[in-house]
Structure 1
Amino acid sequence: MAQVLEFKLPDLGEGLTEAEIVRWLVEVGDVVAIDQPVVEVETAKAMVEVPCPYGGVVTARFGEEGSELPVGAPLLTVAVGATEAPAAPAPSAAPGSSASGASPVDAPADESSAGSGNVLVGYGTGAPAARRRRIRPERVVAPAAPAPVVQPEPVPVAVPAAAGEVNGRQGPVAVVSPLVRRLARQHEIDLWRLTGSGPDGLILRADVDSAIRRAEEAARERTRPAPDGPVVAEAPTAGAPAPAAAERIPLRGVRGAVADKLSRSRSEIPDATCWVDADATELMAARAAMNAASGPSGGPKVSVLALLARICTAALARYPELNATVDTAAREIVRLPGVHLGFAAQTERGLVVPVVRDAHTRNAESIGAEIARLTELARTGKLSPAQLTGGTFTLNNYGVFGVDGSTPIINHPEAAMLGVGRIMPKPWVHNGELAVRQVVQLSLTFDHRVCDGGTAGGFLRYVADCVEQPAVLLRTL
């Protein structure tokens, strides 16, 4: 007899509480193997393909593409034992085994439900996968007299902290996500008056957002002043286009995560910015010499961003105050032992900040290779949450957008960010004479709690000196 197992959205790590379904990789009725990816989801950090720890037949899917699910909500159900699921390629059949196309033998329920040993955070098993025969995956056609299956357990519904919590009424509210409940509470939305659009009447975030918009429109109607004279209806002009409705774009996924982090940075960190113009002519000449010395096939070229990143690690060694974070609860400054250098990368999904681990132990060539690797992953949406977190200092090259300067917002919970404008020829006084030089503007935004202006100015001046005279950097190599 088949056993129906429910697979829930696992904890994807890094404190993520929800994910948006981007694309289903299986249909109801498909045969899935253990550890086969079944759905592609987008979190606030990255795109993730979620593997299923069970092998069997997909009997139900929960959630449409574009909908958000909280961690722990059902993703799909799998009938284990109804048919043999495809598994990893096995060795050739032992002597005496059948080589014909006989039907696969159902595995016992306890073996089939053992799950895989490959886990995401929060689900999976440590037991070895059961041995299975290899068959070609195919769509399962329901037989005339299907075997009885055990129905999946109903979706759990969160219950208010106390009965009659809202307006004195008793009973549960069909809300799973604590984020949805909190959003409704912040906007004084009565959840008992909402009809959920999710499975079994589950109230989703979209339902609360719609209720908020309706409440705001009603409030605007109530506060709109009445006209002084009689109202005369204006006839629409023939052929005139209808007024366009304002476009509303949900703040979710990567864009929502960026909005939350930037808002938190502005509200918590007392930041200040200082900047300086630097003559980058010698730096550009040094880079050209490095790349020329490597020859036509001497390896990847050293980028300007890699050189600036190496300069930053040298500057942080001199000014460790800026490689820190603030523990607001303990009222302590935490100076960090290593430099995990983040760099801003613009992608089709929005701004992301991949992190070069242990940048203080790398040279310019190694940093450049890692930046190139992470940038390619960012462009294809394959960065993992771990590759987007844990930074201690961020380098932001906004010069690629053709602008000279900016006042960056600190990447919370870090303490500083170096911004780099475009490098372009400008008139400059060099050796007492006016000349055309390659000039760049550098800006440092720092948390004023971790240091004062003297330290921040010293850091920025050292960076500028290394840009103007790369030989200065040789002293620290």
Structure 2
Amino acid sequence: MKFFNLPDLGEGIPEADIVKWHIQEGDSVTEDQIIVSVETAKAIVDVPSPATGVVAKLYGQSGDTIMTGAPLLEFVCDQEDAGTVVGQLATATHDDSSDDDFFIGTPPDSGKAPAAAARGNISDLAAKLGVSIDPKGVGRDSIRHSYPLENPEPLKGVRKHMARTMAQSHAEVVPVTLFDDVDIEHWPKGTDITVRLIQAITIACKEEPALNAWFDETVMSREVFTSVNLGLAVDSDDGLFVPVIKDAEKRDADSLRDSINYFRKAVKERSLPQSEMQGGTITLSNFGVFAGQFATPIVVPPMVCIIGVGRLRTRVVNENGQIENHRILPISLTFDHRVVTGGEATRFLHCMLEALSH
């Protein structure tokens, strides 16, 4: 008998949810045959068989969560192996996804400190025991209450990752939100609003780069970037995705629109590569396409700023002594006040509004 453990599916992902088995117990499989589809926090992945053999036992059913390195299936095969595990496994200790790579602003191939890895192991154990541990852990009640749900629906994949990421943000970030309006009545008919917003953000990043940055609280250090890697929040039935438009400041309007269309299509088809959701330095959430004028968007570490755009509305204004109806676009800017000063944030917002007013 040989055991095939769930391999590392990339970038230290600690777990995956079984979406569908493509085989059954007793089936004969060949090497590289797709045996199961699993969902990680970033994508649906088809896992191939590492060897030819007969399936003896499947570990888990559709909807179950399997930790990286845990048994996925057991089968009989002719291949000799020095150990009991077939397939490539991660050699490093994996931490909890609350400390894992982010959808938003994740540095590629970032290493984790031993303390972070240890915290992840404790978090994994706490999750299995049904308790929640405060990441700060000092001077607070570290165990949260459990509520008796009549029909519990476990969060999977993207939604589960989103829940953990939002909890991390709530625990770490000191958020402040600024609100303002911009009159866009002068814009030509058919102007691409999202593209104009991205262009305004890149201009503001050049004038006030402190908001286009990452912050590491463990060493109390920030890194300010010249390139604008803009995370674009995209809603889907499966949860929130934030693909990243790399070097947005170098793109023209057509290139930006092409990227937006590509990302929306890829999110809908769940074909977006993990590499396209890393490295964001600042984020745009255009929630106004659905509803809402102002919001307090969530800053996800290591980034320090997110811009939210609300629903376009009309407002009565005094234009050169004449009463007119103008189109007004509401803007919400949330920043991490541990790193960004109020002056830096207001200058950034002012520059962005000026760019949109022209």
Q: What's the TM-score once normalised by structure 2's chain length?
A: 0.78
Corresponding residue to 1:279 among 183, 193, 216? 183
Corresponding residue to 1:265 among 156, 169, 174? 169
Task: Give the AA of the match of 1:183.
Answer: A
Q: How many residues align?
A: 316
Match of 2:157 in 1: 253
Structure number with greater CO (CA < 8 Å, separation at least 6) is: 2
Match of 2:138 in 1: none
Distance 2:245 2:131 in 1: 40
Match of 1:22 in 2: 19
Task: Give the AA of the match of 2:10.
Answer: G
Corresponding residue to 2:328 among 416, 439, 459? 439
Q: Does 1:398 align with 2:314?
A: no
Task: Give the AA of the match of 1:70.
Answer: M
Residues 54-93 of structure 1: matches in 2 within 5 Å? Answer: 54-81=51-78
Q: Does 1:44 align with 2:45?
A: no
Residues 278-317 of structure 1: matches in 2 within 5 Å? Answer: 278-283=182-187, 285=188, 287-288=190-191, 303-317=192-206
Residues 7 and 88, structure 2, Cα contact 8 Å, conserved in 1: yes
CA-atom RMSD in angstroms: 3.1
| Local SS of the residue matching 1:249 | coil
Runs of at least 5 residues in structure 2 that lack an aligned partner in the other structure: 92-120, 133-142
| TM-superposed deviation, 1:396 | 0.4
1:123-146 CA distance string (max 9 Å, x none): 9xxxxxxxxxxxxxxxxxxxxxxx
| Local SS of the residue matching 1:406 | coil
Distance 1:73 1:343 in 2: 34
| TM-superposed deviation, 1:364 | 2.0
Residues 426 and 436, structure 1, Cα contact 8 Å, conserved in 2: yes
Task: Give the AA of the match of 1:34.
Answer: E
Match of 1:326 in 2: 215
| TM-superposed deviation, 1:13 | 2.3
| TM-superposed deviation, 1:282 | 2.7
Distance 2:65 2:17 in 1: 4
Runs of at least 5 residues in structure 1 that lack an aligned partner in the other structure: 82-108, 124-176, 189-211, 218-243, 289-302, 470-477
Distance 1:71 1:245 in 2: 28
1:301-345 CA distance string (max 9 Å, x none): xx4212211221222122111111111111111213422211111
- 1:187–1:445 distance in 2 versus 1, CA, 3 Å: closer
Residues 207 and 351, structure 2, Cα contact 8 Å, conserved in 1: no
Percentage of pairs with the same residue: 34
More strand per residue: 2
| Local SS of the residue matching 1:378 | helix
| TM-superposed deviation, 1:460 | 1.0
Residues 309 and 364, structure 1, Cα contact 8 Å, conserved in 2: no
1:101-133 CA distance string (max 9 Å, x none): xxxxxxxx479xxxx9xx98849xxxxxxxxxx
Distance 1:388 1:306 in 2: 19
Larger radius of gyration: 1
Q: What's the TM-score once normalised by structure 1's chain length?
A: 0.60
Match of 2:126 in 1: 182
- 1:419–1:68 distance in 2 versus 1, CA, 3 Å: same
- 1:51–1:245 distance in 2 versus 1, CA, 3 Å: closer
